[in-house]
């Protein structure tokens, strides 16, 4: 009998549903929330309301396009955390009600582990053990992946996530929301050595990105005094120089982790893994470090339910289910399972 799982993702501002059948993703339906654009960032309360509006249509489309009836489902999975509490509550509550109504097993999924397991949607996939750099608007982590369900956090940011640094610096530069992709696009035509920004190097495998945001802010203020149009005149070079510094901070820790652990299987995951500069840097490092590198398809970089479905597939095989009394965890950590 086939194993068919409906998965729901609602951790931030993407409402998504996907269906997986015997480990094969059948679809990946995503509704993006445009309501946040005029605020220049995600507004949690508005995100929760938008999830309420989008969730039923997204789930209905996922079931319809999969060719499966809800009576054919084997389980329901949802993102438990980390994420925005209100957004997690919407997705989790729907999943619980759906599972209860159909008397189906319920599977809770760690959002960051799901990003890592997106690498197993397509082939080739990494061999165990491998190191995964998970980078997004809310997280920057180095993860040792020992198996599909056994992961160890090696290091993470002590303050801001790299995606947050990209977006906030882009906002300072006057770029549209979300700013990270716009900064990346402009950086492609700029000189990464035009300006120098500080490269933080925390002890061990920890990251820090708060300093570069402050440095960029004061750099711009100082130069605008002499040239009010400084940003407009040097926008591409500023973007390229900022991106160069941020990527260097990521890569120096990734290289360090690889050398310390003696692991050459390396992957990236999360929204910032779509950044073209980071992808190029990773490919170059693969040659210099003799790595086997794995890059997820762009549609599986940003928040999506397909990655949640893939994680749920392995948890279903292992019999890892949860009860209806499970609660969301806004600050859920890698390896944090089964706690109410």
Residue positions forming the annotated binding site for substrate: 134-138, 167, 180, 184, 275
Q: b vs e for 74-101, b when ≥16 Cβ sit within 10 Å of the residue's Cβ? A: bbbbbbbbbbbebbbbbbbebbbebbee
Find the helix or strand (DSSP H, E) in which 108 lies.
Answer: strand 106-110
Distance CA 284, CA 278 (A): 10
DSSP three-state, residue 313: helix
Q: What residues does 5 pair with on adjacent strands?
A: 20, 75
Q: Which parts are annotated binding residues for Fe cation?
A: 111, 115, 303
The neighbouring-strand residues paired with 268 are: 133
Residue 177's Cβ-count burial label (10 Å; 0-12, 13-18, 19+) is: middle
Give start and end residues of each alpha helix (H) in 34-178. 44-66, 85-102, 111-117, 162-172
Q: Is the separation of the CB atoms in 163 and 180 below 8 Å?
A: yes
Neighbour-count burial for 106-128, b at 16+ CB within 10 Å, e otherwise: bbbbbbbbbbbbbbbbeeeebee
Give dist(CA 207, CA 316) in Å, integer: 34
Of 108, 27, 62, 3, which Cα lies nearest the Cα of 300?
Answer: 27
Binding residues are: 111, 115, 134-138, 167, 180, 184, 275, 303
Beta bridge partners of 130: 145
Structural tokens at position 143: 């993860």
Place of tokens 């950086």: 187
Q: How far is CA 100 from the centre of its chain?
A: 29
């Amino acid at each position: 009998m086939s194993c068919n799982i409906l998965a729901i993702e609602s951790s931030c501002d993407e409402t998504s549903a996907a269906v997986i059948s015997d480990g094969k993703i059948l679809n990946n339906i995503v509704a993006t929330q445009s309501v946040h654009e005029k605020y220049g960032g995600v507004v949690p309360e508005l995100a929760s309301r938008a999830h309420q509006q989008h969730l039923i249509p997204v789930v209905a489309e996922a079931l319809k396009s999969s060719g499966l009836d809800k009576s054919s489902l084997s389980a329901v999975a949802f993102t438990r955390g980390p994420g925005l509490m209100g957004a997690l509550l919407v997705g989790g509550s729907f999943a619980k009600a759906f599972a209860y109504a159909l008397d189906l097993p319920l599977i809770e999924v760690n959002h960051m582990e799901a990003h890592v397991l997106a690498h197993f949607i397509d082939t080739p996939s990494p061999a165990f053990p491998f190191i995964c750099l998970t980078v997004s608007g809310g997280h920057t982590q180095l993860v040792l992946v020992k198996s599909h369900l056994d992961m160890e956090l090696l290091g993470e940011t002590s303050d801001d996530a790299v995606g947050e640094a990209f977006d906030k610096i882009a906002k300072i530069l006057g770029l549209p929301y979300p700013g990270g992709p716009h900064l990346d696009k402009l950086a492609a035509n700029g000189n990464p050595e035009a300006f120098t920004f500080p490269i933080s190097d925390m002890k061990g495998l920890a990251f820090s990105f708060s300093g570069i945001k402050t440095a960029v802010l004061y750099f711009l203020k100082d130069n605008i005094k002499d040239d009010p149009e400084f940003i407009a005149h040097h926008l591409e070079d500023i973007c390229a120089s900022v991106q160069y510094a941020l990527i260097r901070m990521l890569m120096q820790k990734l290289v360090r982790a690889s050398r310390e652990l003696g692991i050459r299987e390396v992957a990236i995951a999360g929204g910032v893994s779509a950044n073209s500069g980071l992808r190029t840097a990773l490919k170059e490092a693969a040659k210099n470090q003799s790595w086997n590198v794995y890059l997820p398809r762009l549609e599986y970089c940003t928040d999506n339910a397909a990655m949640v479905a893939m994680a749920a597939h392995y948890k279903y095989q292992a019999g890892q289910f949860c009860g209806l009394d499970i609660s969301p965890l806004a600050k859920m950590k890698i390896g944090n399972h089964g706690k109410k």
